[in-house]
Structure 1
């Protein structure tokens, strides 16, 4: 089988898997966020944090909840890193420097997961699992909660209540992210990903000699890294590392995890506003951009330019041979269009056109399909602006889902699209 055929088949298999998951997952998430039932473990959490999950919040209270939780999360993760030297399971690593600890804490809480350290040489088991992995869950759940609050604003009338942030946060974590992550971690372990709490040990090399290496709860962190569109790798090489992403199948599965919630949330939106057609319209926009970018990326990376490219079957520089050009190109587009940040190849060594596609994907990374939650609310704001402009062109009062779009709404939408580049 030629590399081009293999890449196309991977893309078709991924598209089919996303299509199969779209309806059940989207409907399930709508049910989760619309349910009035609270499970016992959730009640324990509400009691521990002193929250009343049945109390509806207007937008100022919901915003305060988001900001307060995020501030506490930054402080907790910062202190955990600063105390690493005295924690069990630190693998002998010292405490993280103050500036590095704050950089990492802010990055992971914001779901950015930008890393300026080598994880296997800096972070012990407690910080990785009790700090970084926890933030992978809750930062994604916060993004989903904000998206759901915006959807409720469209769906409800004659009320300014948007639900309860604490209930949305807990449900998103326990009912959506955690169950999928448990199943996903088992699949990654079956593929060969590492899942242990081993210490530092000597590992033999193919060319002779040894090097020091440590294990960790890699599979469980890898799955939520992708599912929550986080991106921070357990190892410095991220998803190019064989401990994180060992086989072509695990590679395709991780791409599926990156895309499945952002795409399925359009179904959740349609279900919650009572118009599946609106959800399909947003899905179609996201899908066209994603498929177009992927096709262009694969085309440019498979194009042969000279003897070296012909001998390798395409632009193989910076790519893992176990994934090939197809698996690397699909991963690169999925990662950049969702602002995930996970990589299984070096984007800087792509062709000029391929690197440009990755950069443009980063610029559209919050709408097509965007991160969990952020992609949906980013696309909804684009819809508000588009409807407003269209209304001006035809001389009608702009409306979206029965809501009039006036000066205040457009000012807020303009703030959103200006804050990101600023």
Structure 2
């Protein structure tokens, strides 16, 4: 879903209720307020909305002429719109590359709450990052530069209406390369929101299969379940190419296992050349040498753990919970059907059943990853549609979800 233009969407609210600061019909110039190092090839971006009367940003947004009432009214509209979006399901916005006039859809990360632990500091400017010799799609790109002064970005307090994104830098990705190249406080043109997948109130359990930055929609679902009265059970199976994408992440099944170099030990072998091509063909790369020092915790892992704390503390717990498993290509720990199947079964080995539509399997990530697990989407009537369930999930859930699990491809 990330990086794919989506033009035919279900709108989250009626046309006359859209905020003047964010709407699906026209692009609004936001400001890039913060860029945080996430991994050697990805970053976290924070965009901030303009004040209602200064959408042109002629003066950098410092001296707009709004009255206080107009400012509060515009921000109030935006807060209402975003709160409604967070309650509905998985949603996205489009970001435009102004020179090429192309747009791509990106999934916002849940807002930082007062109970969220602070984002770990980025590597200092003295950190040496070597260029990967990987055969992956990022092989020809320089690594993402660590932030020179981490304290300068942490000094910017988050706002409820900020839009945060987890974006990988791709060789052929015009939008991702553009975002990684522009300086802080630059204008970024945004429109939306667009509803990608509604999570109705009767959905009680979701198994989410994520590849790379496809983890963002899973975080939205975790936030939604933590917000709503009924809660919900969410299992996230996150497949990464390199350990630095999920550094510090401890799988629930390995917590406390203390296996040297494994997900539960707190120390991880360094990333080695790897690619989705290796992953998809199920060929195992040579294992990397062991590491002698622990790594920093990924900010995405920090956010996932914060969401886990919120959902696990829900009034309906333990019925409501967030279970996270990490799979790292470079460590020969691949996400395979058996890893998914165990979460679709009861303790006695029988497949979970229940009210129709109460259980979902969601797949999100690069196109090849989604196709492998659930089969390709189809084009019908001039728009992209789900199509039947294929890939590995066809045997697990059935072509039409007749085994009790509805499958959705993002």
| TM-score of Structure 1 vs Structure 2, range by shorter chain | under 0.3
Structure showing greater Rg? 1
What is the TM-score of this pair, normalised by structure 1?
Answer: 0.24
Q: Give the structure with the higher percent strand.
A: 2
What is the TM-score of this pair, normalised by structure 2?
Answer: 0.24
Q: Give the structure with the higher percent helix.
A: 1
